[in-house]
Structure 1
Amino acid sequence: MSAVRQRKSEAQESLGDSSKMTASLAKAEDAAHQGYDFGGPFGALAMMTGFPLLMWYLYISSTYYDGLFAWPAANQTWSEFGRQLWHYWLEGCYPTWQAWAMLWIFLGIQAVFYVTLPGVWGHGLPLAHLGNKALPYYCNAVYSFYTSIVLAFVLHVTGLFPMYTLIDRFGEVMSVAIISGIAISFGLYFWTIYMGHEHRMSGNFIYDVFMGANLNPRTGIIDWKMFFEVRLPWFILFFTSLSAAVKQYETYGYVTPQVMFVLYAHWLYANACSKGEELIITTWDMFFEKFGFMLIFWNMAGVPFTYAHCTLFLINHKPEDYEWSTAYNVFLFVTITVSYYFFDIANSQKNRFRQQRLGTMIKRNTFPQLPWQTIKNPTFIKCKNGSTLLTSGVYGWCRKPNYTADFIMCLTWALMCGVASPLPYFYPVFFFLVLIHRAYRDFERLERKYGEDYQEFKRQVPWIFIPYVF
């Protein structure tokens, strides 16, 4: 029997028989602190102070400097420039009480939807500190997403809350998100220490606040890490673009193809996270990453308010400033749609395979259920520690197909804005660095965890991002 046929046979025999793999996986992943990442305490401090300042700087550049990087004028001193930035911050970013109400009412509504709307139950990966117990997760983000859209339209047409208010108060709400993200990060850290629920602590205060102390903070059925990961960033990003589309329609009587494109792009992402929420519960973020500044701040403030610069550029300029050819627009629509297909099936194949092995896979009818989301007769390497490494589907082509598709998608967001402003390109440039760093972290972890089996995996799947290229 060939090696491939043998692995297919092993896959069929072992689905649902996960006890050995469960124990090994949990023991390996819940180890003690294994060294600093992200540049250690200095890197963590730099990001905790630098990200908020960068976000305010980028917003001021986008809004008051025509999408160019804010810089002193030829006859302006640095002191005058600083006072000007402060004036613009007060004008566009001051966290008004209306902005506080907008963000926190939205969060409250999403929390209510979490516990009241219909959904399905799934199970994450086993956790060693819970005796290899797999936590249950209630998944109903897709119902929350579309209920939120209906609610937003009702509020808009009744005049209770015009939908374009979000884009009009974008800087104010961003400041509220920044302040809230920082406060929650520190507050949860101290609460976790007080309750004695900390995990894998380094002993350095700044680094531990950045990485987090609590692994799975929960209130009733609400898992706060999943709440922040799925509903906050992508819902807010989608509603920002929807707000811009409504604003453009109110102003010009039509919506440009470019604004429709970013709305489509952000709907793809928000819908993907919502309709496949049950797949997220077995990912690295849910299973291993602690809930600290890195996840709290970035999901609450970083993602929705820095990934939106394509939307800000389009709404801050007149439609005639970015009238691209029909061929160019069609090319980007096709590119993002094809990339989304591979992004969706790559994430689905990996996590459905994992859930098949655990016997916890959930079949849903959420839209869209694409061809090849589940691998039939998957091939894999059966590792000595009882776990597996998938070598079929798109993961037989390269090790990180989801990263490649994800990056191409985000690059199209910027390309739809042309080259008049560098700010829409912040996301793809930043995201490229994040993906490279995350891949490096993942490969390092896999080397430690699987040893010789991982070397065989690299031999079978030599390409990282693009087959036969890289």
Structure 2
Amino acid sequence: MAQEREITTTITATTTVKLPAAAPKSYAELNPRLKPTEFFGPVGGFVLTFVTPIVAYGLFYGCNEVTGCSVPPTRNFLQWIGDWPSSAGALWEWKAAGVYLAWYMWTVLCWNILPGEWIEGTLLRDGTRKKYKMNGNGLWTLILTLGITAGVIAQPGGIAALAWLNDHFVPLVSASIAMCTFQAMFVYVYSFFSGELLAYQGNSGNFFYDFWMGRPLNPTFPGFPTFDIKTFNEVRPGIIGWVMLNIGFACAQYERLGRVTNSMWLVVLFQGWYSIDCLLVESSILQQMDITTDGFGFMLSFGDLTWVPFSYTVQARYLVFAPNDLSLVACGLIVALEVLGQYIFRVANNEKSEFRSGRNPKNLKFMETKRGTKLLTSGWWGLSRHPNYFGDWIMAWAWCLPTGFSTPIPYFYVIYFAILLAHRQMRDDEACKEKYGKDWETYCKKVPYKIIPYVY
């Protein structure tokens, strides 16, 4: 039996009492088996693992300069693939795979050599806290990458070099899928030998479900205990890669038109700023469900490495072959929408961040819970339970509107993002209901709207 340690707890200014520390929990107690309930269980995990890559490919084959962007589609998926010239979009190219691997390793190298602050994460259920190299490191990676990119563009043939990303989009997608599949499989297998902390929802015992949800909570590679794979992927290769792909699309449009349209500039700048803003407050992700709760499996590896950079760029990619010149009035209205979304998103997140740090400069109202924690009930957090989601969704419209109205496919992001945010809200509310009990019911009466004030 483990030797008991003693903890001294202060009762008053003059009286102390010594309490025995709780015995350390065993591996089985720390990692209980739970029923697979998320995403419709094992069947949902199996289906999503295969369907999500098909959707990533489908966004390209369903909307490109060869096949058009017809809705409903005029041909099936195999015909789409057959119609696309293999010289410009083969499913797999070793050169594209090499480029993608070099890109991923570049971001790892930058993580290792560039400065950054080590930030403590939330308290884990085994009583430990992990440290993550974050604040400043991701931003320096982006700045260095953009500096090198600017130097390449300034050279003869530099624009064509960046436009290569547009011409080899599909094999780059394939390379990213290969990478995320490898990582998801590696961490799944390694978690049976590493003795690491597992995610609650990824430890069901069913392979398809656990592979999708992610079995390990904070996986690392053997011999590199400070390199957290999940947190690194969340904000580095995909987020910065998104910026690089958009730049490649702008270069491809310049090659064809001899200029970059104002619609392309809006998309590149809006989405570029979103990425910069993410890296400026990089440590804020340590409070998000992806980091605190979800394991690292195919769901997150695919989302970080394939879905974000290759599906979020659909607007810029569309504008390469369907350029759209906007009027000054249209530009002004779209910019105003972007600013509104940014304002709500940032102010709401600042209110939450300040309150969690123990400050309340706006004197916002809150309610106490039996757990001893406090829940905001005024400010933006009094208007809805997830006002930051509302601001995020408004920005999504500003990203899509520059593409015009010839086809709804570039608006896929708005529709998908609404579903994603609603699903996250439901998962978060369910977790809070379990965490706060009756207090959560009281809170929901005080703040009845879930995302959009006075609507939903």
TM-score band by shorter chain is 0.7 to 0.9
Matching of residues 12-23 of structure 1 within 5 Å: none
Provide the rounded CA distance (Å) in 2 between the counterparts of 1:377 and 1:259.
42
Provide the rounded CA distance (Å) in 1 between the counterparts of 2:167 and 2:72.
21
Q: Deviation string for 1:338-365 (max 9, x for gaps)?
A: 21121122223323433x15xxx9xxxx
Closer, same or farther: CA 256–375 of 1 in aligned 2, 3 Å = farther
Q: Does 1:101 align with 2:103?
A: no
Aligned twin of 1:46? 47
Aligned twin of 1:328? 330
Contact 1:167/1:244 (8 A) holds in 2: yes
Between 406-415 and 83-92, the greater mean CA deviation after superposition: 83-92
Contact 1:114/1:222 (8 A) holds in 2: no
**1:242 CA displacement:** 1.3
**1:386 CA displacement:** 2.6
Contact 1:313/1:424 (8 A) holds in 2: yes
Aligned twin of 1:194? 193
Closer, same or farther: CA 281–30 of 1 in aligned 2, 3 Å = farther
Contact 2:121/2:129 (8 A) holds in 1: yes
Aligned twin of 2:177? 178
Structure 1 vs Structure 2: percent identity of aligned residues? Answer: 29
Aligned twin of 1:142? 139
Q: Deviation string for 1:191-235 (max 9, x for gaps)?
A: 112323234311111000000111112334322212111112221
Amino acid aligned to 1:461? V
Provide the rounded CA distance (Å) in 2 between the counterparts of 1:330 and 1:191.
52
Q: Does 1:120 align with 2:83?
A: no
Amino acid aligned to 1:42? V
Q: Deviation string for 1:278-329 (max 9, x for gaps)?
A: 2112222111111111111111001211111111110122x3xx23322112
Closer, same or farther: CA 41–149 of 1 in aligned 2, 3 Å = same
Provide the rounded CA distance (Å) in 1 between the counterparts of 2:289 and 2:79.
44
Aligned twin of 1:353? 355
* TM-score, reference length from structure 2: 0.85
Aligned twin of 2:375? 389
Matching of residues 202-241 of structure 1 within 5 Å: 202-218=204-220, 219-241=224-246
Provide the rounded CA distance (Å) in 1 between the counterparts of 2:157 and 2:321.
25
Provide the rounded CA distance (Å) in 2 between the counterparts of 1:202 and 1:269.
36
SS of the residue aligned with 2:129? strand
**1:97 CA displacement:** 1.7
Provide the rounded CA distance (Å) in 2 between the counterparts of 1:94 and 1:469.
43
Listed as ranges, the gaps of 5+ residues in structure 2 are 1-21, 23-29
Closer, same or farther: CA 353–116 of 1 in aligned 2, 3 Å = farther
Matching of residues 24-35 of structure 1 within 5 Å: 33=34, 35=36
Aligned twin of 1:36? 37
Closer, same or farther: CA 287–187 of 1 in aligned 2, 3 Å = same
Listed as ranges, the gaps of 5+ residues in structure 1 are 1-22, 24-28, 362-373
* TM-score, reference length from structure 1: 0.83
**1:426 CA displacement:** 1.2
Closer, same or farther: CA 447–205 of 1 in aligned 2, 3 Å = same
Closer, same or farther: CA 342–416 of 1 in aligned 2, 3 Å = same
Q: Deviation string for 1:79-115 (max 9, x for gaps)?
A: xx73562463845142212211221111111111112
Q: Does 1:284 align with 2:279?
A: no
SS of the residue aligned with 2:246? helix
Aligned twin of 1:435? 421
